[in-house]
Structure 1
Amino acid sequence: MSHDTAALAQIHRQVMWNRLIAVVEEQAQIMIRTAFSTTVREAGDLSAGVFDLHGRMMAQAVTGTPGHVNSMMESVGHFLKKFPAATMQPGDHYITNDPWLGTGHLHDLTVVTPAFHHGAIVGLFANTAHVIDVGGLGMGPEGRSVFEEGLYIPIVKCFDRGAPNETFFDFIRAGSRLPVELEGDIYSLCACNDAAARRLADMMDEFGLASLDPLADFIFDSSLRATLAEIARIPGGTYQAEIHSDGYDEPVRLAAAMTVGNDGIAVDFAGTAGLSSRGINVPPAYCRAYACFGIKCVVAPEIPNNWASLAPFRMKIPEGCILNAPRPYPVSVRHVIGHLLPDLMMGCLHQAVPDRVTAEGASALWNPPLRGGGAISGQARGNKPVVADFEIITFNSGGTGARPTRDGLNATAFPSGVRTMPVEATENVAPVVIWRKELKPDSGGAGRTRGGVGQVMEIATKGDLEFAVNASFDRIAHAPKGRDGGLDGANGRVALKSGKTLRTKGLQVIPDGDRLILELPGGAGLGDPADRDPALVARDVRDGLVSADNARRLYKVALTDSLGVDTAGTARLRGAA
């Protein structure tokens, strides 16, 4: 083969790879457009991908969360063990929400669908979506085992050659507080896989492909070589870090020792706290998912995510630790701990490549499940009305950590990457009123680059009637930590408007006439605050993100009456610092 011919073949394979990514992105977008749950259609809490017949992920959608994508990458192999590819037929769909075979808790449904081309199975499409309700105690940390947390679905066939499994759907409808939404979401997940399978067949016809195997080999070989080349740029050695979660009733220590070698990066979580009796435990696949993501963000962010690009990252998770929960430990809010893992990985990598690592951020989502009606208020209320029955989850985020050359992002989800749910979407489907949702000044940690600010929310029901929150919040006792002289981000806070401080985790009632106040954490700063450009400090004050007092006290910047930089005053402050 001539050099020109080889180069053209290389370009041709790259075009097909890009097309495959476009196919799974369309798969994800169809899910968003057809989903019933606000968690999917508004927040984008989902994943989508295409796999070869060995269960190896070839490509993932850009839209989606790392916790779903990277743990779903493992789950397809479990489906194939129970239902080998050779037994699958067109129109078949398989489903589970098993936390240890799927993506970590019962509220995530994973659907796998075979794709056929000219009568032969050529690949598999998989997706995952977070649904609002699967019965049980609801999404929260109160369960003592996974069996209390909701309806447990093993790997089963939900559609057989296009016909719905009516027995399966009878169980689904009977086991949820929101049967219409749950059944609708399952149809949505199956429909988007069907659409992706049709698009894949069109692509294979266009490029004259009889099999995906040669393209898979190219993707995996290219990705592995590129990832190993990026790892080689990281100074070798072993780096250790720790981070703390508020936990349920006591703090949780997460510890890691990361060894960078020629053949990959190995992480040992020895020293991490033991298992909890509550639902903050993390199944191992979810631990691997977010730990890998944290490493990849620093080491190889430009390489597409697939089986081979993740293969060089290896995890050793000791038995009995909170990151390796065995069945049937409760795991409903595993994200509270899991979302801290990228910050832990960056704590290790900061020692090797400090110019490529962010400060710590709010990390864990603040996604309070809200519930109201007779189940909360009961009937013994005299003449007081009871809010209509409802079950809703709203996704919100604090600030991200400062970046080496830019500030952190305000009220933005990292590492999950989900979108903030619009107030109107929540109020449209439940008798909830969000009276206040605004950025919180001075919550971003001061630094050469500033941490992203958090936000303040004030939530009630229509008429300020009694309702409940199933709290699963973090970064309240343990604020995000700054790096290289940057200051910590602000702690979070959970309270009633009347003043009472609430527990950070667990089901709690907001009484009649009162409202729930959430103050979300801010991201931490990076570098000495006195090194920040005074013009940026003045801009932050004008934008309401930093107070004039903190500009002077923390950043050593004096301001004029019109909130410009007082150059002479700033020079005096910084000269005396």
Structure 2
Amino acid sequence: MKHSDTILSQVIGGSLDSIAREMSATVTRTARSPLFNEAHDFTTGIFDLSSKKARLIAQAPGCTLHLYAIVGAVDHLLDAFRYDLHPGDILLVNDPYYGGSHSLDWTIVMPVFHERKPILLPSVRSHMGDNGGPVAGGYNPKSRDIWQDGLRIPPIKIYERGEKRRDVFDMIVANNRLAHWLEGDLDAMIGACRLAAERMEGMLARYGADGVTSAIQQRIDYTERRVREEISSWPDGSYTASTYADHDFQGNRDIKVQATVTVSGSDLHIDFSGSSPQMAGFVNSPLSNTTSFAFVAISTCCDENIPINEGYMNPVIVTAPSGTVVNPQLPAPCGHSTACVGAEIAEAVLLALSQCAPKRVGANVHKLPLAYTHGKYEDGRPWVNLNFYGYTGGAGAAYETDGWGLYPPVMTGVILPSIEMNEVQYPCRVLKHEYMADFTGTGQYRGTPGLDVQIEYLEESHSSVMMAGVRNTAQGYCGAPAGPGNKIILNCDSTEAMEIPETAFGIPMQAGGIIQFYRAGGGGWGHPFDRDSEVVLTDVRNGYVTVEGARRDYGVIMDAAGTVVDGEATQKERQVRRTRPQ
């Protein structure tokens, strides 16, 4: 490769990354929904169409669990309109069985033409605040089929040759409780794609289609080479691990996700055979969602400086047997799959990889206890609040690092909304959002501490709760025990206080009602007795660990005030407990 070609590849690759980031900023600054402009629950990406299928070539930081699910949606849109694409067309899909994840995630794509051929495809995938159907907010724990999850949108055009299809828009908006947000959010997504198209047209005019295509291919080849180098450093063999989701919200418990990861040179095969059959409840993971969580797991084990594009996918094959919870058949419901069993998919892959690449894995799953609240403003318009503060936590440890931040890697592109703006946008007050001591996965490196969160609603409302990570908690890695369990209490300050063991549906909350989340911390890495005792002492001083917890969980003995470690007593305590039968 000539030096000038390498430079051009970097210039064009950097330009595409910048365009994706500018798309992201455009959505954030122009959307109406707090899910977009506050929580950033969306992802922008760019694809090319130099072959029969679209290829991911650039992506801005966003909701990480969208990482590769967007690929399946774009492919299905192209399959539907490959021979009917025109300048000015804008395509939309949300159906889980057409490359989606759950139907709350909508994907928009706009083809960019050069010399009458579609060349590039800017795209936005976003979590919408509502999706019609029987339940406000779109999460329906009583769902028994895909139609009860909400409105299914197969591949359609919402703009055709530059003209808005008003009939289609009106149909979509009419089937959404948050119409006062929805059309503005769609306009923000469309505006981001149009802005990207302008930037791309300038790039194509400057460098030509051949130059851009060649640079993209070099960038994909570079990513693939780097990923293959990572995989080649892991010992060949097959490694199997299983994990479990608590339940499917329909009475079925301990739902198994099994992954066998086979390393063969620089190739990787992830096989989910052995996973539970598809469930009655809405935890089933469509193939695109399963593939996305598998790739999220792989990407967290590789150098973070590797560009995210199609090259990541080329060395990896994913097998998910049809009719299972990781590849359901229509009409199985899928509404909760981006949390459950998505978390278990990533967890099973990482547990398998911990057997061959222990220093590369980390506890990056979310075991998300979902509790959302809905009501009406004074003018009668509905609102839906996903209570993001209750979902923070769960970030796990990795080799040589404790858990950090509030979200695990599968959610790191999501931003914790401003409490002040949240209290302006919804009739609520965030009373508490603070770390709890002794409430995380322990290990040589510990997870992020768990949180105690209290949210008060100032007006009458209804809340639905979908628990996860109560019995089958976040797993530790490489000798670390499993983390603690989640807990949610509705109306926690009243005689009607209700701890939710699994599911609650549409529970009335009077004005002043409080939801309390005990959000468990993330899993640890390595045996807790290998943690430096002085680091444990620092955790005690910071309030992450109590003196009692230091002894119980880490075998570290210190004075009652938590100021000095007794090194000799600690060594003896650890030695005795290591040899004690479990």
TM-score by length of 1: 0.90
Q: Does 1:315 align with 2:321?
A: no
* Counterpart-to-counterpart distance in 2, 1:565 and 1:204: 65
Q: CA deviation at 1:11?
A: 2.4
Q: 1:305 and 2:308 equivalent? A: yes
| Deviation of the 1:210 alpha carbon | 5.5
Q: Does 1:292 align with 2:295?
A: yes
Alignment map for 1:399-410 (pairs within 5 Å): 399-410=394-405
Aligned residue for 2:580? none
Tell me the residue number matched to 1:481. 475
Mapping 1:216-295, distance limit 5 Å = 216-247=216-247, 248=249, 249=251, 250-262=253-265, 264-295=267-298
1:527 positional shift: 2.1
Is the Cα contact below 8 Å between 2:369 and 2:469 reproduced in 1? no
- Counterpart code for 2:435: L
Question: How do 1:56-455 residues align onto structure 2 when only pairs under 5 Å count?
Answer: 56-84=54-82, 87-117=84-114, 121-136=118-133, 137=135, 138-207=138-207, 209=209, 212-247=212-247, 248=249, 249=251, 250-262=253-265, 264-299=267-302, 301-335=304-338, 336-358=340-362, 360=363, 363-372=366-375, 389-395=382-388, 396-417=391-412, 418-455=414-451
Q: Residue by residue, what CA displacement relative to the aligned partner does 1:227-258 show, whole Å, maximum 9, x if unpaired?
A: 22322111111000000111222121111111
Indicate conservation of the 8 Å contact 2:257/2:275, yes or no: yes
SS of the residue aligned with 1:495?
Answer: strand
Distance 1:199 1:292, change over 3 A: same
1:473/1:505 contact within 8 Å kept: yes
For 2:258 and 2:434, the matched residues in 1 are separated by 34
What residue in structure 2 maps to residue 381 of structure 1?
none
Q: Give the partner amino acid of 1:243.
A: T
Q: CA deviation at 1:526?
A: 2.0
Structure 1 residues 357 and 415, CA, compared in 2 at 3 Å: closer, same or farther? same
* Paired residue type of 1:21: D
What is the DSSP-based 3-state SS (H/G/I as helix, E as strand, rest coil) of the residue aligned with 1:356?
Answer: coil
Residues 373 and 34 (structure 1), Cα distance of their counterparts in 2 relative to 1, 3 Å cut:
closer
Deviation (angstroms), 1:351:
0.8
CA distance in 2, matches of 1:571, 1:227: 42
Q: Which moved more, 1:171-180 or 1:476-485?
A: 476-485
Matched residues, number: 559
8 Å Cα contact 1:390/1:431 also seen in 2: no
Residue type of the partner of 2:455? I
Once residues 450 and 5 of structure 2 are traced to their aligned partners in structure 1, the CA distance between those partners, rounded to angstroms, is 49
Pairwise CA distance, 1:103: 2.7
Q: Equivalents in 2 of 1:482, 1:221: separation in Å?
A: 35
Distance in 2, matches of 1:524 and 1:552, equals 19
- The alignment status of 1:490 with 2:484, answered yes or no, reads yes
Higher mean alpha-carbon deviation, 525-534 vs 126-135, is at 525-534
Q: How does 1:504-515 map to 2 (within 5 A)?
A: 504-512=502-510, 514-515=513-514
Structure 1 range deviating more: 299-308 or 44-53: 299-308
Cα RMSD (Å) of the superposition? Answer: 2.5
Match of 2:553 in 1: 554
Q: 1:494–1:504: 8 Å Cα contact kept in structure 2?
A: no
Q: Deviation at 1:120?
A: 5.0
Find the aligned partners of 1:166 and 1:39 in 2 and give their Cα distance.
25
**Cα deviation 1:435-472 (Å, max 9, x = unaligned):** 22221221112221111112122223105x3x322323
Q: Note the residue ranges of structure 2 that are not aligned, 5 or more in a row.
A: 578-582
For residues 531 and 222 of structure 1, do their structure 2 counterparts lie closer, same or farther at Cα, with a shift above 3 Å needed?
closer
Matches of 2:436 and 2:85 in 1, distance apart? 53
Q: List per-residue Cα deviations over 1:54-102 (Å, max 9, x = no partner).
A: 4423423231233323011122221122212x64333221111111224
Quickly say closer, same or farther: Cα 1:252–1:547, change in 2 above 3 A. same
Relative to structure 1, the CA distance from residue 195 to residue 333 in structure 2 (aligned partners, 3 Å threshold; closer, same or farther) is same
| TM-aligned CA distance change 1:261 to 1:342, over 3 Å | same
Tell me the distance in 2 between the aligned counterparts of 1:423 and 1:474. 25
Residue 118 of structure 1: CA displacement? 6.2
CA distance in 2, matches of 1:317, 1:492: 29
For residues 531 and 274 of structure 2, what CA distance do their matches in structure 1 show? 37
Give the % identical residues: 27
Partner deviation per Cα, 1:322-349 (whole Å, 9 max, x = no partner): 1111222111111221122222111111
Q: 1:140·1:471 contact (CA, 8 Å) conserved in 2?
A: no
Give the alignment's TM-score, normalised by structure 2. Answer: 0.90
SS at match of 2:499: coil
Instruction: Give distance in 1, aligned partners of 2:408 and 2:299.
Output: 17
> Is the CA contact (8 Å cut-off) linking 1:280 and 1:331 kept in structure 2?
yes
Quote the residue 1:382 is aligned against.
Answer: none
SS at match of 1:347: helix
One-letter identity of the residue aligned with 1:338? G
Q: What does residue 22 of structure 2 align with? A: 26
Query: What's the secondary structure of 1:468's corresponding residue?
Result: strand
Q: Structure 1: state its 5+ residue gaps.
A: 375-384
Structure 2 residue identity aligned to 1:18: G
Cα distance, 1:519 vs. partner?
A: 1.1
Which residue identity does 2:57 align to in structure 1? A
**C-alpha separation between the residues in 2 aligned to 1:303 and 1:469?**
42
> Higher mean Cα deviation, 253-262 or 59-68?
59-68
Contact 1:58 1:219 in 2 (8 A): no
Give the counterpart letter for 1:448 in structure 2.
Q
CA distance in 1, matches of 2:441, 2:479: 11
Q: Are the counterparts in 2 of residues 90 and 115 from structure 1 also a CA contact under 8 Å? A: yes
Mean alpha-carbon deviation: is it higher for 475-484 or for 364-373? 364-373
